[in-house]
A and B are shown apart, each in its own frame.
Chain A
């Protein structure tokens, strides 16, 4: 099966023109994949894997399995879970609406300073989330640059509301979507777009009917990454939206708060979050892979 896929790939790219010569390196690669791993790579690799897996194991080992039903039946837990799923999904939706066009502009608009803009909008990727929360307060808080106007004109204030949670999560998670999708826009074959344009399609039609379907798998990957980052968001959320059960207390906040009063509950909550994350990643992975192979 893999051999078929390989030949399909080379057939897809006539510019390669080296299909016969490629066979042997491929065979060599396959042989190398089955051979022994040199220890300077194998030992750090093993340690790295253990480092990532042992804490998750610890969560499973120390989980209060017997008390789970009681701990999870708590309405506050269900509130936090519902809020987390709702806010992460809303943040992903907002990110798609604004992030995909922004990624397209960053990838296609060739003007001076676009590189700087790209660096700036992806800054939240590396910015500590708490700093993001403070920045959000200064911009959208009741006394903030825009928040003050929003409060004066509409009486709406974002901090301490569920909308505030979505704002905080979007701020932190959208760059993950932008950077993934922008890369895909750059890598996508411009030939199809040019063909559509010569056939009379407008730029917007090309974007909708050619470009977007082309980057489908990357769009999904970016959205999943964005959703997962939003689900785990803590620092910006607690700083900008505060902590109130049922309104702004998402699962990570509930875990943090529970750790101080009832560590067993914190472990139980963490397990729920772990299961949700695994379920989503596993569920989407299949679609992801199939989407990848059909293209």
Chain B
């Protein structure tokens, strides 16, 4: 096991600061570290569920709305697991039709081909495959929610190799 200290993080920050890269992702065993330059777009959208829910904008202040656009603190320590991003903008449904069983539940073991939901764009249904193998730990996007491209739909604890 490698010990990862605060100094190591500072060294990494200096490294990315002096480089042309906007983002650094590091995975060592259980540790997962993402560093991102301020103002740079995340490669995978930071999920901001409230910001993009289809609820009316009324009553929200402009400052609050725009604050959600600027992303994050520079260091994100993820609790592990991969997020499955929405491959396209549309309305996300958990089940093939209203009242039917959902495609997946928390605790299900899935493969990368497993359909996790459908995204509707103007009456056209697009099935969404997981793209990863593992166990479903969280269903992030609500049923019937308008999701944007790249928004996190579910979280999966990847299968051990």
Say whether A associates with B. Answer: no
Which residues of A approach B to under 8 Å, CB–CB? none
Which residues of B approach A to under 8 Å, CB–CB? none
